Amino acid sequence: MTATTGPDHGVPHRMGKITPLAFALTVGAAAFVLVSFNHVGLSWEKILGGGPGLARLVSQMFPPDLSRLTPVLVSLLETFQMAVVGTVLGIAFSLPLAVMASAKHAPHPLLRIGFRGLIAFFRTVPDLIWALVFVIAVGLGPAAGTLAIMIDTIGFCARFFAEAMEEADDGPQEALTAMGAGRTGILFSAVYPQVIPSFIATGLFALEKATRSSVVLGLVGAGGIGIELKVAMDFFSYDLACMIIISIFILVLMVEQASGWLRARVL
Amino acid sequence: MSESTATRSRPVEPGIPEASGVECNFIPGPVVTEVPADRPATVCAVDRLVLRFGGRGSPAILKGVSLVIADGEAVAVLGSNGAGKSTLLRCLPRLLEPSEGSVSLLGEDVMSLRRAGLRRLRSRIGFVFQRHNLSTRLSVLSNVIHGAHGRAGALRACHQALAPQELREEAMDCLAQVSLTDLAGRRADQLSGGQSQRVAIARALMQRPEIMIADEPVASLDPSSAEEVMDLFARLMRERGITLIFTSHHLKHALAYGDRVVALKAGLVVEDKPTARLREQDLDWIYDSNDRT
The rounded distance, in Å, linking the Cα atoms of B26 and B13 is 6
A23 contact B CB<8A: no
Which one, of A233, A219, A205, lies nearest residue A75 by Cα?
A219
Helix (H, G, I), strand (E, B) or coil at B44: strand
Q: Within a domain: residue B36? A: no
Cis amide bond preceding A63, omega within 30: yes
Amino acid B271: pLDDT: 87
| B120, B158, B173 from B205: Cα distances, Å | 16, 16, 10
Q: Within a domain: residue B33? A: no
- The DSSP call for residue B80 is -
- The DSSP call for residue B139 is B
The rounded distance, in Å, linking the Cα atoms of B200 and A135 is 55
Say if residues A82 and A223 touch (Cβ distance below 8 Å).
yes
Q: If you average pLDDT over residues A158-166, what whole number do you get? A: 95
Cross-chain Cβ contact B149/A185 below 8 Å: yes
For chain A, the domains span 69-266
The rounded distance, in Å, linking the Cα atoms of A23 and B143 is 57
Over residues A109-119, the pLDDT tens digits come to 999 999 999 99
The rounded distance, in Å, linking the Cα atoms of B114 and B105 is 14
Domain extent for B227: 3-26+41-287
Q: If you average pLDDT over residues A22-33, what whole number do you get? A: 95
Number of domains in chain B: 1
Among A174, A181, A188, the residue with its CB nearest the CB of B133 is: A174
Over residues A163-218, the pLDDT tens digits come to 999 999 999 999 999 999 999 999 999 999 999 999 999 999 999 999 988 888 88
Q: Within a domain: residue B31? A: no
Collect all residues of chain A within an 8 Å Cβ-Cβ radius of residue B142: 189
Amino acid B4: pLDDT: 38
Collect all residues of chain B within an 8 Å Cβ-Cβ radius of residue A197: 137
Cross-chain Cβ contact A181/B150 below 8 Å: yes
Amino acid B17: pLDDT: 55
β-sheet with B60-70: strand ranges across: B60-70, B42-52, B100-105, B108-109
Residues 6+ apart with CB under 8 A from A257: none
Collect all residues of chain B within an 8 Å Cβ-Cβ radius of residue A171: 129, 131-133
Amino acid B38: pLDDT: 55
pLDDT in single tens digits along all 293 residues of chain B: 333 333 333 333 345 555 544 333 444 444 444 445 555 588 899 999 999 987 777 888 999 999 999 998 999 999 988 889 999 999 999 999 999 999 999 999 999 999 999 999 999 999 999 888 999 999 999 999 999 998 888 889 999 999 999 999 999 999 998 999 999 999 999 999 989 999 999 999 999 999 999 999 888 888 888 888 888 888 888 888 899 999 988 888 889 999 999 999 989 999 898 988 888 777 777 777 655 44
Interface of B to A at Cβ within 8 Å reads 93, 95, 118-125, 127, 129, 131-138, 142, 146-147, 149-150, 153-155, 157-159, 200, 203, 207
Among A172, A182, A184, the residue with its CB nearest the CB of B135 is: A172
User: Taking CB atoms and an 8 Å cut-off, how many pairs form between chains A and B?
Assistant: 85
- A 10 A CB-CB count for A140 gives 15
Among B93, B135, B138, the residue with its CB nearest the CB of A178 is: B93
CATH of the domain at B163: 3.40.50.300
Among A179, A194, A197, the residue with its CB nearest the CB of B146 is: A179
- A 10 A CB-CB count for B255 gives 19
The rounded distance, in Å, linking the Cα atoms of A128 and A219 is 9
The rounded distance, in Å, linking the Cα atoms of A146 and B194 is 51
Among A174, A181, A196, the residue with its CB nearest the CB of B149 is: A181
The rounded distance, in Å, linking the Cα atoms of B35 and B111 is 23
Chain A residue nearest residue B158, CA to CA: A189
Domain A69-266 has CATH 1.10.3720.10: yes
Backbone dihedral angles phi then psi of residue A112, each to the nearest 5 degrees? -60, -45
The rounded distance, in Å, linking the Cα atoms of A243 and A231 is 13
Cross-chain Cβ contact B149/A176 below 8 Å: yes
Collect all residues of chain A within an 8 Å Cβ-Cβ radius of residue B137: 193-194, 196-197
